[in-house]
Amino acid sequence: YLDYNIELSKIKQRGKVMEYQAEFEEVSNMVSGWPVEALIGTFDGLKEYHIEVQAATPQSLLEAFELERIAEEKSTRFLNGWKESRISRQSPNRNLAVTKDLRE
């Protein structure tokens, strides 16, 4: 016997928010009697975006997952920008090539 109420609270994010959402929706469709607020409250399984989503006080699961995806995208863009800025600072020859092209 599988208690989906317990399984719902055990779901953890292992990849992208979309993957977590798919698993969450699959299990949440197997339970009954959970108010939306309680379902949103089980988002502890998400990674670093949990606090940001709770602060926005979403009114529906759809809104909560959309906020999660936005937070994930912002984080990804920030990390990608940070990595690119580190690469350009570590590669002085790359900057010289740009300077040389500008002079020509």
Nearest to 79 by CA among 101, 47, 43, 57: 47
- Quote the distance between the C-alpha of residue 33 and its chain's center: 27
Question: What pLDDT score was predicted for residue 91?
Answer: 56
Question: What pLDDT score was predicted for residue 3?
Answer: 93
The per-residue pLDDT for range 33-80, each reduced to its tens digit, is 999 888 887 776 566 666 777 778 888 888 988 888 888 888 888 877
**Which tokens go with 86?**
């580190």
Q: Which has more pLDDT, 82 or 63?
A: 63
Helix (H, G, I), strand (E, B) or coil at 103: helix
- Provide the whole-model pTM: 0.62
DSSP H helices in 42-91: 50-55, 61-90
Q: What mean pLDDT is predicted for residues 79-102? A: 58
The per-residue pLDDT for range 2-42, each reduced to its tens digit, is 899 999 888 888 888 889 889 999 999 999 899 988 888 77
- Segment (H or E) for 100: helix 92-103
